[in-house]
Amino acid sequence: MRFGVHVSISGDLARAVARAKERNCETIQIFSSNPRSWKGKEFSKSEIGEFKKGCWLEGLEPVVAHTPYLLNLASPHQGLWSKSVEALAEALKSSELLGCDYLVTHLGSHAGAGEVEGLKRISSAISVVMKGARAIELLLENSAGAGFSLGYSWEQLALIVSELNYSQRVGVCLDTCHAFAAGYDLVSKESLSRMIELFDRLLGLERLKLIHANDSKGSIGSRLDRHESLGKGSIGESGFRLIVNHPQLKSLPCILETPGMGLEDDIRNLAFLRSLVQPGAGARGRMSKLGIRN
């Protein structure tokens, strides 16, 4: 399993690589633009070149981007839905230019229009934007299910994917806090295996590309989307030990989005997660393109 964190692109794009190096990352996630703005961030050719070169030299793999928070692909309001589709298309284009392997997106809220209608609008939005995608995979992130948010069950994600025109370029990002808050038990070995079996039956494990490792402030099934530092929440040490050593998960890249996200917090959380990997449990991930890390 390859471990990394979400790092800021503030100041200079190349600083993201330096921040990842400071944290001893093997993979990296960045925002494709300002997370709380509709306006996309433009990068110069030299910035893009330095970022791609830096990721390559540091053996950062995969390179992951995340869409802004404002997108609502399930919105029943045509104006907001159209704006979200445009922003997702822009994020895909920007992420491809940066050489990212994946773009992660939240799915949004049906705002009272009903889950069936919301799921259809999500599928429609993704089908529209994936027409123009060439070298990147879109990952749908599961939600905690708070309010009217969608994507909190594997059944819902399976329904979305089943309606897509370009489903071969769409995968899933498993957020541990969201899954736990939505009612999936990650602390019991038997329950974790049942969840994975259900995912495989509905979506196929080949679609599971990435894990967001976040502990949960809320209890199981609370629908509370509140991340906690690893080992300090309801999933706890025992849950993450099961996750990082599970035979069907241990080869996946794992990115932290824990609270604080400062240097010391990230180093502590990464060290905690790595300490749980059992000797002989398998390779920590794919060989990088340079063979620098394994």
| Two structure tokens written together for 233 | 């929440």
Looking at residue 34, its pLDDT comes to 73
List of residues 6+ apart from 19 with CB closer than 8 A: 7, 8, 263
Residue 88 pLDDT: 94
pTM attached to this predicted model: 0.93
pLDDT interval class at 39 (50, 70, 90): confident
pLDDT of residue 294: 35
Distance CA(114)–CA(109), nearest Å, equals 9
Average pLDDT over residues 13-18: 93
Residues carrying an active site annotation: 36, 66, 69, 106, 141, 175, 178, 212, 225, 227, 257
Q: pLDDT tens, 125-180?
A: 999 999 867 779 999 999 999 999 999 999 999 999 999 987 889 999 999 999 99
Banded model confidence at residue 293, pLDDT cuts 50, 70, 90: very low
Question: Per CATH, the architecture of 3-275 is what?
Answer: Alpha-Beta Barrel (3.20)
DSSP string, 33-66: S-TT-SSPPP--HHHHHHHHHHHHHTT--SEEEE
Query: For residue 11, which phi and psi values (nearest 5 degrees)?
Result: 90, -60
Confidence of residue 281 (pLDDT cuts 50, 70, 90): low
| pLDDT of 228 higher than 90 | yes
Q: pLDDT averaged over the chain?
A: 91
Task: Give residue 291's pLDDT.
Answer: 37
d(C-alpha 52, C-alpha 291), whole Å: 16
What is the pLDDT confidence band of residue 63, given thresholds at 50, 70 and 90? very high
